[in-house]
């Protein structure tokens, strides 16, 4: 189904296909967003007219390219990547896609680099797609850097359905469950989550609007 949608709705995208190929050749894990999900991110940035975006989790730069494409030419994306080797691959992919002038890659564990971003805030959109064990902490930082109207997107929140298991000892599941608890309890946030079935398997994403 993903192949059908990509072929008939999105068409061939040389930059994204190249980013996926280069990332695979470099040995990066195959956990980037799919082509339809990437287009969703592009459209979301455009729909909210974002000028400043924060991404937590760069990997090979696939989603960063998609986010940057939705920005105006004077917009900016700060993307955080813990692994220097991944960041190097991402920089090449992003530059080849022609959006390097809009993307600032910050290297280091996100919980170390996030406290340094105060002067860059607020962000119009934040995309959380890093290690899921720290999702609750990333969510807190996203709120710290938000304003009323900021959109938050969190990827991989269903995790094959394991998110519904209260006895799970998986750190990614527990971290995401904690994040959902914070989302539900925070009066400044209106949120939902949608399940997805696609080429990447059974998962889903959360979407939140900061209202106060």
> How confident is the model over 99-146, as pLDDT tens digits?
999 999 999 999 999 999 999 999 999 999 999 999 999 999 999 999
| pLDDT of res. 8 | 95
Q: Name the strand (E) or helix (H) holding 64.
A: helix 62-69
Question: Which residue, chain included where needed, has tokens 């609750």?
Answer: 136
| 73 in Cβ contact with 100 (< 8 Å) | no
Among the listed residues 44, 91, 36, 34, the one whose alpha carbon sits nearest the alpha carbon of residue 67: 44
Residue-wise pLDDT for 67-101, tens only, equals 999 999 999 999 999 999 999 999 999 999 999 99
Q: Per the omega criterion (within 30 degrees of 0), is the bond before 122 cis?
A: yes
Question: Which residue, chain included where needed, has tokens 């917009």?
Answer: 75
| 20 in Cβ contact with 6 (< 8 Å) | no
Among the listed residues 22, 43, 45, 46, the one whose alpha carbon sits nearest the alpha carbon of residue 32: 22
Residue-wise pLDDT for 166-180, tens only, equals 999 999 999 999 999
The dihedral sign for the CA sequence 200, 43, 88, 179: negative
pLDDT higher than threshold 90 for residue 200: no
| pLDDT of res. 53 | 98
Model confidence pTM above 0.85: yes
Longest dimension (CA), the chain: 47
Residue-wise pLDDT for 24-70, tens only, equals 999 999 999 999 999 999 999 999 999 999 999 999 999 999 999 99
pLDDT higher than threshold 90 for residue 199: no
Residue-wise pLDDT for 184-198, tens only, equals 999 999 999 999 998
| pLDDT of res. 76 | 98
pLDDT higher than threshold 90 for residue 10: yes
| pLDDT of res. 170 | 97
Half-sphere exposure for 161 (CA within 13 Å, toward CB): 3
CATH for 2-210? 3.40.50.150
> Can you tell me the distance from the alpha carbon of 28 to that of 39, in angstroms, rounded to the nearest whole number?
21
First to last CA, the chain: 39
Q: Name the strand (E) or helix (H) holding 80.
A: strand 76-81
Torsion angle defined by CA atoms of residues 168, 174, 178 and 181, in that order, rounded to the nearest 10 degrees: -30
> Can you tell me the distance from the alpha carbon of 129 to that of 138, in angstroms, rounded to the nearest whole number?
10
Compute the chain's Rg from CA coordinates.
16
- What is the pLDDT averaged over residues 7-29? 96
> Can you tell me the distance from the alpha carbon of 183 to that of 169, in angstroms, rounded to the nearest whole number?
21
């Amino acid at each position: 189904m993903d192949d059908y949608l990509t072929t008939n709705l999105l068409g061939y995208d040389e930059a994204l296909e190249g980013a996926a190929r280069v990332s695979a050749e470099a040995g990066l894990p195959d956990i980037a967003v799919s082509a339809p999900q990437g287009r969703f991110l592009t459209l979301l940035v455009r729909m909210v007219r974002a000028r400043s975006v924060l991404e937590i989790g760069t990997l090979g730069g696939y989603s960063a390219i998609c986010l940057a494409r939705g920005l105006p030419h004077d917009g900016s994306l700060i993307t955080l990547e813990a692994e220097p080797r991944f960041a190097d691959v991402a920089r090449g992919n992003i530059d080849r896609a022609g959006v390097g002038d809009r993307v600032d890659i910050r290297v280091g564990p996100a919980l170390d680099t996030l406290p340094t971003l105060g002067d860059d805030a607020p962000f119009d959109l934040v995309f959380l797609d890093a290690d899921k064990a720290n999702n609750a902490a990333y969510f807190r930082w996203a709120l710290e850097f938000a304003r009323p109207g900021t959109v938050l997107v969190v990827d991989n929140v269903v995790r094959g359905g394991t998110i519904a298991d209260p006895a799970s000892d998986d750190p990614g599941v527990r971290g995401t469950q904690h994040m959902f608890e914070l989302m539900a309890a925070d009066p400044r946030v209106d949120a939902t989550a949608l399940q997805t079935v696609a080429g990447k398997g059974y998962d889903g994403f959360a979407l939140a609007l900061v209202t106060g």
